[in-house]
Amino acid sequence: MAAPQVKNGSAFGTSTSSISVMASFMTMGIRSSFHSLVALLLTFLVVAAVYVTQNGGKQLVEETATPPRSSNLLTSRCDLFAGKWVFDNLSYPLYKEQDCSFMSDQLACHKFGRKDLDYQHWRWQPHQCDIPRFNATALLERLRNKRLVYVGDSLNRGQWVSMVCLVDSAIPAEFKSQKHTVNGSLIVFKAHEYNATIEFYWAPLLVESNSDDPISHRVPDRIVRVQGIEKHAKYWTDADILVFNSYLWWRRSEMKAMWGSFTGPDGGIVKAVKMPRVYEMALQTWADWLEVHINRTKTQLFFVSISPTHQEAQEWGGSSEGNCYGETDPILKEGYRGRATCPKMMQVVDNVLDGLKARGMNVQMINITQLTEYRKEGHPSIYRKQWEPLTDEQRMNPSSYADCIHWCLPGVPDVWNELLYAYILDL
């Protein structure tokens, strides 16, 4: 067989013209691939732009909503108090009622017969961001060697119980304790491993009054010593974090105010003072004490706004004789406001806090009022320990003894503490 011919120096029998044609096709293929790659990239960018536009930058919001520290979130990027309630039975409640070692019978609604437990599963969702997920260990680390003290009335005590329940499961039984001191006015929960305390001090009017006994405080004629606070303040002035509230006990048209001492030889001067003037006088005494005695480099100050009541169902379209009894769903109308929250009283608090700020002392408002307005179903109603036997008339009309002031736990006060926790993370 003859050997293959070699043409134009090619051992494979390919002519120069054939090579040129092949090179052209290769060049065209490369160009085609490049054009395809560019087109694919442009398509991806267009799709991404459409996604971001349709989702309102959702991914960016998620990333900025949970920074390691929450300063930007709280001060400039998000109003934590404007939002809506979202039903979430996967993440909530944050603890179980029966698992909290220090649960109060006044707030243990399931224990006392409440069957519908949806009130435990509502999560507060701000419009612009997410509340940081509560982490008991992270909070306890922030509280290491510190005192967190709630000062106020039974609503503030409920928030204190909530906070204790939120951290309870993170602490072994042998490393936690609770004690009552100061004739029962001061309750101290201690996490020994962290040398941290979470405390509650009973002072429903913040200043001194004849209702200061934590047990026997229901008196027919309430008198407030508008210039007296040291009796209370000496127990909490050196705390690291102070959380105040006071409104519930001021809900009347006037109150007797005293100048002087309850125990002095002259008994003091007593005069009836209209609302909200007497409330303003008491808060000013409180503010003056803070300004003089609080260590501004150490102590962080918070004031919890009005906790709404739901004692008149007609306010949300219910029966004229009804209240929170039998309610199982929140109010979904955004911006709903009942008549129980007095704007004039709220303005007094704002003015006093503004005055403190002008003098270089910041008290952060935890503005729970609007978000709590929606939760008409979150109260104990009849599902709590009754301290006195019920009458036959009450048994026939359960709404007559329904508690539409306080809050079931787990429940609404847990969210108040989640908001407080967000600020504590920023300290």
CA distance 87 to 90: 9
Q: Which residue has the tokens 């999560």?
A: 123
Catalytic residue among 153, 168, 403, 426: 403
Residue of 110, 232, 379, 406 marked active site: 406
d(CA 405, CA 9): 102
SS (H, E, C) the chain: CCCCCCECCECCCCCHHHHHHHHHHHHHHHHHHHHHHHHHHHHHHHHHHHHHHHCCCHHHHHHHHCCCCCHHHHHHHCCCCCEEEEECCCCCCCCCHHHCCCCCCCCCCCCCCCCCCHHHHEEEEECCCCCCCCCHHHHHHHCCCCEEEEEECHHHHHHHHHHHHHHHCCCCHHHEEEEEEHHHCEEEEEEHHHCEEEEEEECCCCCEECCCCCCCCCCCCCEEECCCCHHHHCCCCCCCEEEECCCHHHCCCEEEEEECCCCCCCCCEEEEEECCHHHHHHHHHHHHHHHHHCCCCCCEEEEECCCCCCCCHHHHCCCCCCCCCCCCCCCCCCCCCCCCCCHHHHHHHHHHHHHHHHCCCCEEEECCHHHHHCCCCCCCECCCCCCCCCCHHHHHCHHHHCECCCCCCCCHHHHHHHHHHHHHCCC
Structure tokens at 57: 């930058």
Beta pairing partners, 120? none
Structure tokens at 310: 């739901």
Q: What is the spatial distance between Cα 152 and Cα 130, in angstroms, rounded to a whole number? A: 29
Annotation marks residue 240 as catalytic = no
Question: Would you call 406 a catalytic residue per the annotation?
Answer: yes
Catalytic residue among 104, 110, 153, 154: 154
Is there a catalytic annotation at residue 293?
no
Residues annotated as catalytic (active site), given as ranges: 154, 403, 406
